Amino acid sequence: MTTVPSHTALLGVAILRELGVLLAAIIIAGRSGSAFTAQIGTMQVNQEIDALRTLGLDPVEVLVLPRLFGLILTLPLLVFFADAMGLIGGGLMTWASLGISIPRFLEQLRGAITEWTLWVGVIKAPFFAAIIAMIGCYEGFNVTGSADSVGRLTTSRSSKQSLSSSSPMRHSRSCFVSEDLTVARYDDSDDDDIVIRVRGLVTRFGAQTVHDGLDLDVRRGEVLGVVGGSGTGKSVLLRTVIGLKRPEAGSIEVLGTDVQEASEAAARALEQRWESCSRRCAVQLVDRRAEH
C-alpha cells in the first residue's frame, strides 16, 4: 500500500467513492429528471392527470412510483459504468502523461483500493436516484396551465437538482396530491331523485369571484346542459362537482355522498359510479404512460 504512488490512489479513491456517482447523478438529473418534469408537466397541462383521477387512479401510484423505482434500480448500474469509464480514462492518462504502463497502473490500483471503496460510491446511488425522481416528479405536478410553465419548471428543477443532489430536504415536500379526505359519510340522501346536490357554492380565483352562492340540483336520468360565457366557470363547476377542485364555501353531494368530506374509500366507490370525459377526451391519457 505504501508503495502506491499518490496519483493512482487519488484517482481510484476519488472516482470510485465520489466522482463516479456524483457525475452519473448530475447527468441523470439533467437527462431523466428533466424528462420526468416534462412528461408529468405535459400531462398536467393536457388535463391527463385530472383524467387519471376521475378514473379513480392515484397519480402518485401511476406516475411517480414507477419512475422512482426505475431510477433507483438503474442509477447504481450507471454508476458502475461511470466508475469503469473513469478508471479507464485515468489509466490512459497516467500512461500517456506519466509513462506508467496499463498493467502497472492496474497493479497499483489494486493496492490502493478495496472492494469497499467501490461500494461506498455505489451505495449512494439509490439515494441520489430517489432525490432526482422525487424532485423531477414534484416539479412536474407543479406545472400549471401553459407549455411555458413546463419549460420554466423543467429548468428550475434541473438547477435545483444539481444544487441539492446531496441534500434530501425538498424530498419531504413531495407529498403533493393526497387530498385530506377524512370523515366518512355514506348515508343515502333523503330523496333518491336528486343525484347531484350543490348548495351555496363559492369559488374564487384570487380576488375574482367565479361562483357566488350557487345552488344546483341534478335529477336522476336527466341531461343537464351548462352554458355560460367564457370565464363564467362552466368547467370549474364541473371540476368542483367531481372533486378535482376545492370550493371556497358550500357543499356538494353526489349520489348522497359529500364529495369534500368523503373518506378515501367512499371517494373511490363514488368514482366508480361516475365518469367524466374532459374536453380533451382523454383517450391519449394512459397512452403516455405506456411510452416509458
Residues binding other proteins (CB under 8 A): 54-57, 195-196, 209-229, 232-235, 237-238, 241-242, 254-255, 268, 272-279, 281-284, 286-287, 289-290
- Distance, in Å, from the CA atom of 203 to the CA atom of 144, rounded to the nearest integer, reads 18
Residue 235 C-beta-side C-alpha neighbours within 13 Å: 8
**Cβ 257 to other proteins, closest distance in Å?**
12
- Distance, in Å, from the CA atom of 102 to the CA atom of 46, rounded to the nearest integer, reads 55
Nearer to other proteins, 72 or 238 (CB): 238
**Cβ 214 to other proteins, closest distance in Å?**
5
**Cβ 246 to other proteins, closest distance in Å?**
17
DSSP track, 166-190: T-TTGGGGG--S---------PPPS
**Cβ 239 to other proteins, closest distance in Å?**
9
Nearer to other proteins, 116 or 205 (CB): 205
- The 10 Å CB-count burial string (b at 16+, else e) for 58-73 is ebbeebbeebbeebbe
Nearer to other proteins, 97 or 208 (CB): 208
Whether the CB-CB separation of 216 and 196 falls below 8 Å is answered with yes
Nearer to other proteins, 74 or 276 (CB): 276
Angle at 288 between CA 283 and CA 292, to 5 degrees: 155
Nearer to other proteins, 246 or 273 (CB): 273
Nearer to other proteins, 149 or 235 (CB): 235
**Cβ 282 to other proteins, closest distance in Å?**
6
- Helix H or strand E encompassing 199: strand 194-205
**Cβ 74 to other proteins, closest distance in Å?**
23
Count of C-beta atoms within a 10 Å radius of residue 103 = 9
Nearer to other proteins, 169 or 227 (CB): 227
* Cell numbers linked to 125: 446511488
**Cβ 66 to other proteins, closest distance in Å?**
14
